[in-house]
Structure 1
Amino acid sequence: MSRNSLSLRHSPRRLRRHPAMRAMLRENQLTPADFILPIFLVEGEGIRSDIVSMPGVFRHSIDSALKLCREAVSRGISAVLLFGVIAEGCKDACGSASWDSEGLVQKATRAIRAAYPDLLVIADACFCEYTDHGHCGILNAEGDRDDNTTLENLQRQALSYAEAGVHVVAPSGMVDGMVTAIREALDAAGHSEVSILSYAVKYASAYYGPFRDAADSAPQFGDRRAYQMDPGNRREAFRELDLDIAEGCDMVMVKPAMPYLDLVRDLRERCDLPVLTYQVSGEYSMLQAAARAGWLDLQRSVLESLLGMKRAGADAIITYYALDAAEWLE
């Protein structure tokens, strides 16, 4: 007799046949509160400029960014992640514009806090957008990053963000000792309430290409493989995680997301801190390109990719699809 003619004692399909059954038994759910929306900031007014390699994502002047925040709040999004994009003439060898009290991130933070006090403001703490060489810190005479001096500047940057009202400082430069340096500086200045989201596990990935267009942050020479992680390594991530936890971070991140979901699961199983992941620019643009070519359904593929991150163990997801995904979930 064929299997179809037999009475099946065990049939997983019985729990899939009805939409209400599927909804009731779904193990992982996405909500708009899971999403963090990245925002690229530029000087000026009324600016919403295209990023060619990231169709649908824009650079915003602060007044335009406030409109974006209003939309995020209305859709139930929890937080924004701010990046400053400054003119070439304002960059220098140490990225000093990043700790200017009248800098882009600082001004935007004050405006967002005043207009939308319930929205969490996270500031990326790095220097590649602010240095004339495009590397994530001070360089020595040999062209290598000087981590000790970079840490001192990172303290200046973090303090400037905290004084502007940032809720969370997110160091992304993979500088050894960065969490300790920031925590000590914040606490000494009376900002113990400011959290640290560490880019603890950040790989030297090919998927960052469109971001470097968006933030004008491509290195002028060399690459960042001397301080970002090798994509072939897994155990190294555990060491990075343990060090940042010992140094006092409040949350940890895996970046990129989709090629490293095994690491998201690893971190989720190894620590009790919130684990975040970043669906980076290349992941965003791949889905856009495939959908525009008619090869994928954008809504279904985006939501499936985000659900995979949640299923792997992500407590929150940084994604350029935050607004779209929140609308689709409604």
Structure 2
Amino acid sequence: MFFPEYRARRLRRTPGIRRMVRETFLRVDDLIYPMFSAFGDNIRKEIPSMPGIYQQSIEHIVAEAKEVHELGIPAVILFGIPEEKDPLGQDAYSDEGIIQRTVRAIKDAVPELTVITDVCMCEYTDHGHCGVIRDGDVDNDETLKLLAAEALSHARAGADIVAPSDMMDGRVAAIREILDANGFNHIPVMSYAVKYASAYYGPFRDAADSTPQFGDRRSYQMDPANRREAFREAALDLQECADFLMVKPALAYLDILRDLSDRFDLPLVAYNVSGEYSMVKAAAQLDWIDEDRVILETLVGMKRAGADLIITYHAKEAARLLASSRD
């Protein structure tokens, strides 16, 4: 049997050669670490469905923020668990809300760390939906007013980037308008542009205490079967002056990441969501997988699909692995 003159395995023979010809690189600078800030003192409660991830009071959040910064991770994204919830989610846009206080504490302690805030209502409403309820569904335009007020309060507290995750029509424009009108035209908007109504969010709802008390979110989050709709959503957010586009979840939507990477030139963010994290952790606890290799392979897959940045609960683990491994 005669082989072709070219042999592909020549470029796989040694670790050094593999590094030289590697096409996709995962760097610590690509990572964003999610954190859950809870009202109260001395709280550090592990989330049962997300081993290694905690609901934490501000003093513990600050300590972990310092650890994140020391690992070289450039940014965190914050989610809040308020003292009280109500139909209009008032803690979300209060200057003394849990996220506003957390932002100030982090920026005081670790000013170099980039702080991104999730802008949504579901963590703050007693019904668990992402806005104002009218006739059993979320009223889009009334919700825009609250989201804009929330984003402005985050900017006033010192947030570096605001990230609306609600999937209301027009929310990027509403947020951009209020930020610009109040002297925050330098604050970028990281839009959850393409957010699917996914079963992969289950553990997050435990973490953020945000399970809807009735119905579901399919009237405002995207149908997982739809691909072309993602182009429309991203194009609308681009027109409304979003600075980043996001795809959430990531693992089952790598085709969407590639589509958006090919079509748009804004920085593209993948959200490696809670269910994806929890599946890796569960399989690792049963010794069914090599956890370290699966973490890096998964994140590299998201980069290869087109993501520029990755929000991931694995960020600290990945940073340590990247620092210790060269192959």
TM-score (norm. length: structure 2): 0.97
Query: Residue type matched to 1:38 in 2?
Result: P
1:110 aligned partner: 104
Cα-to-partner distance string for 1:290-317 (whole Å, 9 max, x where unaligned): 1111111110001100000011111100
Contact 2:82 2:97 in 1 (8 A): no
Among 191, 211, 218, the alignment partner of 2:211 is 218
Query: Residue type matched to 1:103 in 2?
Result: G
Moved segments of 4+, more than 3 Å: none
Kindly indicate whether residue 163 of structure 2 is the aligned counterpart of residue 170 of structure 1: yes
1:257 aligned partner: 250
Distance in 2, Cα, partners of 1:85 & 1:297:
33
Kindly indicate whether residue 289 of structure 2 is the aligned counterpart of residue 296 of structure 1: yes
Cα-to-partner distance string for 1:25-77 (whole Å, 9 max, x where unaligned): 11111111110000000122222111011111111111101111111111110
1:100 Cα deviation after fit = 0.9
1:307 aligned partner: 300
Kindly indicate whether residue 88 of structure 2 is the aligned counterpart of residue 94 of structure 1: yes
Distance in 2, Cα, partners of 1:236 & 1:44:
41
Kindly indicate whether residue 45 of structure 2 is the aligned counterpart of residue 49 of structure 1: yes
Among 262, 273, 279, the alignment partner of 2:266 is 273
Distance in 2, Cα, partners of 1:23 & 1:114:
40
2:65 aligned partner: 69
Among 111, 118, 141, the alignment partner of 1:124 is 118
SS of aligned partner of 1:170: strand
Distance in 1, Cα, partners of 2:115 & 2:272:
18
1:258 Cα deviation after fit = 0.4
Contact 2:47 2:53 in 1 (8 A): yes
Kindly indicate whether residue 224 of structure 2 is the aligned counterpart of residue 231 of structure 1: yes
1:11 aligned partner: 7
SS of aligned partner of 2:137: coil
Query: Residue type matched to 1:206 in 2?
Result: A
Distance in 1, Cα, partners of 2:40 & 2:205:
21
Distance in 2, Cα, partners of 1:45 & 1:26:
47
1:85 aligned partner: 81
Distance in 1, Cα, partners of 2:20 & 2:42:
45
Kindly indicate whether residue 196 of structure 2 is the aligned counterpart of residue 179 of structure 1: no
SS of aligned partner of 1:227: coil
Distance in 2, Cα, partners of 1:31 & 1:66:
24
1:99 Cα deviation after fit = 0.7
1:204 aligned partner: 197
Distance in 2, Cα, partners of 1:184 & 1:51:
37
Query: What percentage of aligned pairs have identical amino acids?
Result: 55
Cα-to-partner distance string for 1:243-292 (whole Å, 9 max, x where unaligned): 00000100000000100011111111111100001000000000000111
Distance in 1, Cα, partners of 2:106 & 2:53:
19
Distance in 2, Cα, partners of 1:18 & 1:284:
31
Among 54, 67, 81, the alignment partner of 1:58 is 54
Query: Residue type matched to 1:39 in 2?
Result: M
Which ranges of structure 1 fall in alignment gaps of 5 or more residues? none
Distance in 2, Cα, partners of 1:60 & 1:26:
39
Distance in 2, Cα, partners of 1:32 & 1:214:
25
> How many residues end up aligned between the 2 structures?
323
Query: Residue type matched to 2:246 in 1?
Result: M
Distance in 2, Cα, partners of 1:25 & 1:112:
40
Query: Residue type matched to 2:91 in 1?
Result: A
SS of aligned partner of 1:229: coil
Distance in 1, Cα, partners of 2:146 & 2:68:
32
Distance in 2, Cα, partners of 1:242 & 1:112:
34
Query: Residue type matched to 2:165 in 1?
Result: S
1:322 aligned partner: 315
SS of aligned partner of 1:98: helix
Which ranges of structure 2 fall in alignment gaps of 5 or more residues? none
SS of aligned partner of 1:38: strand
Kindly indicate whether residue 139 of structure 2 is the aligned counterpart of residue 143 of structure 1: no
1:11 Cα deviation after fit = 0.5
Distance in 2, Cα, partners of 1:165 & 1:267:
30
